[in-house]
Amino acid sequence: MLEHKYYLKRQDVLFYFAWILFLGSVLFEQTALFLTHQNALVLLTKEIRYFAYLVFGLKIFYSTQIIKKRSLALILYVLFVFAISCIASTNRTMLLYFIILLAAVQVESKKIIKLTVWIQGIALAVVIGLSQIGILEDYVFGKETGRLRHGLGFSWTTTGAILYFYFLLGYIFLKKEKFNFIQAFILEIINIVLFVLTNSRMSFALSSLFLLYFALKGTRHKNSEDTKHLKREKIWLLAPILFCLLAILSAKYYTPANPFLKGINKIVSNRLQLGYDAIQRYGFTLFGQQIKWVGFDINKPSLNEIHLYNYVDSSYLQIALEYGLLFVIVVAGIYTYGIYESIKDHDSYLLAIYLIILFFSLVEPRLMNLAFNPFPLVIFSNIKYRKN
């Protein structure tokens, strides 16, 4: 019996070790140091990540438990869609991410998020701190437009603010009812400082709103009552597909002749127009296509030929264009399962976090970026094994 417990613990240790390697290498690639020395460092970070994938694979291989047949069938279907979409797009990132997702099965979600919050928090503090003492470059973007935005040691100005956004969600997931106004106040001060320096409006506004919401929620101590109400509201299960449709259709049918859509496009920094242009250029496929996304960073702070810029910020639209319509439907299905489990487990905090991420992903591309957003791992960690 003791040996069995030790064996299971060893599998978790394999996952945590690989997760530290993966998360550290990906976050390092977001820094100014990596971008300015990319030729020398790209091989190193890739090798670290591939070693991490190997360890994730060992965690899966050495597991002695057997997944329920129903869950196994769904996993195999997801694997098929991930594989065929990665082949069509010639981008294997999501297939490698599937290894991480599968390795997260039956690993305690709270421990995954706790480790992630620590790594993300340390990364934010170290990178921003080094940028302010001159070791890392604090590149100032927007000099040509007058909208000055600091990179704070990251490769792009919004990177630090968005990483902080997901750090906050992870922190609240861990605290839940213990999250209060004092914590919210301190975290909001940091949020304001990041906004002043980076002018990252969407992440700032949404972070401020959910900090207030969760602080109020913590004072009510009605988590179970809220969840019972939410359990009756099956409409939440439709949220992933509705957000997906909203993102795709609003870009597809965007026209500056419509005053309402033109106003929305201005609010979201021309994202509807860029989405419309991408749809016109690439079109939708069932299984995906090869697309090289070109955006801004320290090496390309602006583009003289604006037609070279093709980056789409909406997670749903980017996934649908590159990996295909079938893939984006599967991603929506994964989040639907997460919402279903959070309602079934009476976890209104996790449900709210899923909804916030889904909403944020309308204008940001990290719905399935595990280094920033670890909550897909939480979804897979809830997949059940059957007893031998």
H/E run at residue 326: helix 325-344
From residue 127, how far is each of 34, 38, 152, 301 by CA, in Å?
12, 17, 7, 19
Q: Residues near 33 by Cβ (< 8 Å), separated by ≥ 6?
A: 41, 136, 137, 153
Considering the domain boundaries, does residue 268 fall inside one? no
Considering the domain boundaries, does residue 265 fall inside one? no
Q: In terms of pTM, does the model score above 0.75?
A: yes
Chain mean position to CA 245 = 19
Considering the domain boundaries, does residue 273 fall inside one? no
Considering the domain boundaries, does residue 281 fall inside one? no
Q: What are the tokens at 335?
A: 């989040």
pLDDT of residue 300: 73
pLDDT of residue 386: 52
Span 3-51, pLDDT tens digits: 444 345 678 899 999 999 999 999 999 999 988 777 788 889 999 999 9
Considering the domain boundaries, does residue 190 fall inside one? yes
What whole-number distance in Å separates Cα of residue 24 and Cα of residue 10? Answer: 21
Neighbours of 351 (CB within 10 A): 23
pLDDT of residue 385: 61
What whole-number distance in Å separates Cα of residue 332 and Cα of residue 330? Answer: 5
What whole-number distance in Å separates Cα of residue 193 and Cα of residue 184? Answer: 14
CB 93 within 8 A of CB 361: no
pLDDT of residue 314: 96
Number of domains in the chain: 1
pLDDT of residue 9: 66
Beta bridge partner(s), residue 154:
31
What whole-number distance in Å separates Cα of residue 288 and Cα of residue 94? Answer: 12
Beta strands in the chain (DSSP E): 66-67, 140-141, 149-150, 385-386
Considering the domain boundaries, does residue 367 fall inside one? yes
Q: What are the tokens at 11?
A: 């599998």
Considering the domain boundaries, does residue 261 fall inside one? no
pLDDT of residue 345: 87
What whole-number distance in Å separates Cα of residue 123 and Cα of residue 162? Answer: 13
CB 218 within 8 A of CB 178: yes
Domain that holds residue 377: 2-238+323-386
pLDDT of residue 232: 61
Low-confidence ranges of the chain (pLDDT < 50): 1-7, 223-224, 227, 305, 388
pLDDT of residue 234: 78
Chain mean position to CA 377 = 10
Considering the domain boundaries, does residue 360 fall inside one? yes
pLDDT of residue 265: 92
